[in-house]
């Protein structure tokens, strides 16, 4: 009996974490593009709460909003971070969110994709790769992408107009999905 390919695909749940709190930031435009053009077999859920997490502390009782964030990571088959660079570094809210997971280990062996979409972005991209290594995330070779001069790669309606970038983004998503499926 011949099955259609899509029937054989395991559904992969991906938690997308934007690094910018601005809904119309270029990195969020790219994330929306990814979510709205998700290939069959991939379910994206956007976590839009990094701005609501309190500053990292080592409290006796972890705040409920942080517990919920950690549970969302745990339940996901993979995580995709899409972020700009601010002041040559990782946006503070995103770094704070990741700091909450350092001792509790939600990212341990978690498949993670990283897209830095910024004017330049090299420093934040490199710093994030280091942070993700520190929290033992599993970042495949093809699952990270730096998109510099991002504004010039988008059209006025928010689509990715640069074909090379659009293709690179597709490759990151495919690579993340196939890594998660191998589990």
Stretch that binds ligand FMN, among 4-12, 20-28, 67-75, 171-179 (CB under 6 A): 20-28
Give the pairing of strands 111-117 and 78-83. Answer: parallel
Which of 15, 19, 25, 153: binder of ligand FMN (CB under 6 A)?
25
Q: Which contiguous run of DSSP H or E holds residue 8?
A: helix 5-8
Query: Residues 58 to 97: which contact ligand FMN by CB under 6 A?
Result: 84-88
Binding-site size for ligand FMN (CB under 6 A) equals: 16
Which of 120, 138, 174, 178: binder of ligand FMN (CB under 6 A)?
120
CB of 133 to ligand FMN, least distance (A): 21
Give the pairing of strands 144-147 and 111-117. Answer: parallel
Measured distance CA(44)–CA(142) in Å, rounded: 19
Give the pairing of strands 12-18 and 42-46. Answer: parallel
Q: Give whichever of 83 and 175 is closer to ligand FMN, judged by the CB atom.
A: 83
* E strand map for the chain: 12-18, 42-46, 78-83, 111-117, 144-147
State the residues that interact with ligand FMN by CB under 6 A.
20, 22, 25-27, 84-88, 118-121, 150-151
């Amino acid at each position: 009996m011949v099955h259609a390919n899509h029937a054989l695909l395991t559904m992969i749940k991906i938690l997308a974490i934007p690094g910018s709190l601005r809904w119309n930031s270029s990195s969020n435009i790219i994330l929306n593009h990814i979510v709205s053009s998700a290939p069959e077999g991939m379910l994206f859920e956007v976590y839009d709460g990094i701005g609501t997490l309190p500053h990292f502390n080592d409290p006796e009782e972890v705040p409920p909003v942080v517990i919920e964030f950690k549970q969302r990571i745990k339940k996901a088959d993979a995580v995709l971070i899409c972020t700009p660079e601010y002041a040559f570094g990782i946006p503070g809210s995103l770094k704070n969110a990741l700091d909450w997971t350092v001792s509790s280990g939600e990212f341990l062996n978690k498949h993670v994709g990283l897209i830095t979409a910024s004017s330049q972005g090299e420093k934040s991209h490199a710093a994030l790769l280091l942070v993700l290594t520190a929290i033992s995330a599993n970042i495949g070779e093809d699952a990270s992408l730096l998109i510099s001069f991002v504004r010039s790669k988008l059209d006025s309606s928010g689509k990715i107009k640069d074909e090379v970038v659009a293709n690179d983004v597709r490759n990151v998503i495919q690579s993340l999905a196939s890594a998660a499926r191998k589990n």
